[in-house]
Structure 1
C-alpha cells in the first residue's frame, strides 16, 4: 500500500512539474520583454483618443503569471503607455502606472525594469534597445507584443543604427492581435484628425520585421478574445461570474487583480493580452478562467506557491 501511495505521489509531482515547466514556442527560461499600451490621457490628434483599457487588467494578470511561475528574474523590460505621440497623464488617472506599481509591490518585481513611455519616452526606448541588442542564439529575447508596433519599430531602428542587426535574429515576437500589429496612431487617414506628413507616419509590425531584414522571428497565436463563450480564453464580455474566484480568493493580491479588471470603464471583463504570457510559460494558447484559477492555485504569495 505504501509503495502504491509513493508511486501515486511521485506521478502527481511529475505531472505538476511538467505542467509548470511546459513552454510555448521553445521557451526555455529565457529573457522576456513586454510592451503594452493602456494610455488613458486623451490624444486629441486621433479618432480613438485613448487606448483599449484591456491592458489595465492584462498587465496585472500577466505579471501575476510570471511571478507565479517564478520567472520574475527573466523579465528584463516592461514598457507601458506605448501609444507614440500620446501625452503624459496630467488630467486622467494613469491606470497603467497604478497596475504596474501594484504588481511591483505585491510580487517583488525590480522597479528598474518598468518604464512609462508617456512619461519618459527616451529612457524607455533606450532600455528596450539595450535588451534587444544583446540577444544571441544562447540568450534569445522573447518579446510579448501588447501594444501598437511603433515603439518596437523605433527600438529596432536604433539597434540597426548601432550595428547590432544580427542580434535581431534572436528576438522572438509573440502576438495575438491584428490591431496591435497594424494599428497606426499617426499616418492612417481614416483616423487622423489632421493630415500627417509621411516622415511622421507610424509603422506596423510587418514593417519592423522587414526593417530587420526579416531576421526577427514572429508567432501569432490564436486571438485571445472569446466574447462568445465566457468559459474560454481571456475575454468574457460582461459576464463576470467566471472570474468571481479571484474576487473571493484568500490571497489579497489575487483579489487585487480582480479589482484592476473592474476598472474597465465599460464594465468588460477583458485581459486578453495576458494570454500571450500564459502561452509562453505553459505552452497553452487556449487558456480560460478555469485554467487560470488552477494555475494560480492557493495564491502567489503562499509558502508552497502551488
Structure 2
C-alpha cells in the first residue's frame, strides 16, 4: 500500500496529572451522551489542540461536494443514522492538515467498532485512534510545547519505515523514532510465517532482508514471532506437532531464518533468549521451535554469548 494512503493506529499514554492538564488546555471535546448517562463518550478533534483555518464550505478547495477527493471518512455521528458524511474534504484542506497536524485526517475511531471512547481512555492508552497518511506528529509537538508529558506508539501497513514508530516527551520536546522495519518487510514476514505453518506454498524466491542493526533484527524477529503465534492460535495446525514433552509442544517444521542478512550486526548476544511462539503461555502450555540460521554470515560478530539460551529454541544445521 502507498504510504500516503495508509491508516495509522495510534496509542497515546499519559498519567492522570497530565490528563487534567490536557483538559484545562484544550477542553474535553463535545459530549455525545446525556449528562446523566453512565457513558461519557466524546467527539474529539485535533482542532482542539491546533485550530483549523477559517474555510468556506462552498469552496471545493476545502469541501469537495463531488466526492472526488482522495479521502472520505465516516464518523460516529454519521453512522448513527447510517448515512454518508455531509462533506468530503478537499485537496487544500488535506494539505493544510498534513502541514499543520502531520496527518491529512482528523482524529478517527476504529472503523470496525464505530464508537467514540472516553477522553481518559484514549489518553491512558486503553483505546487506539486512527489517522491517515501519517501519525499526528505536529499535534504531539504542540502538546509537548504546551507542557504535557506523554508517550506514543503507532503502526500501519505503510510500505516505508513509518510502518512502526514510537515517541516521548523529553525536556519539553517531542522526540520520535521510526522504523527501521518497513511495511514491505512486515509483509514478507507474514509470508515466512505462513510458509512455516504450511498455510501457503513454499516461497523459493523469498527476498533477502538486509538487517541494518540489532534494533532492526529484534523488530523483525518480534514481528515474525507474533505472526506465528497468531496463526497457531487461529489455525490450530496439528500437523506441526512432532510430540509433547510435559507442558511443551514440539513443532515439526523448521523455521528458516536464512533470508535475513545479519552481516551488518556485530551483536547477537542473547538474540533468541526470549524467542517464543507459544500461543497459550498463560495456560502453562509452550511450544519448542527449530530455527535454521546455518547460512548466516557472522564474520563480523563480536558478541554472541548465550545466543539461544532458551529451552524452547533448537538451532539446527549449524554443523553444515
TM-score by length of 1: 0.24
Identify, as 1 or 2, the structure richer in strand: 2
Which structure has the higher relative contact order (CA within 8 Å, separation 6+)? 1
Identify, as 1 or 2, the structure richer in helix: 1
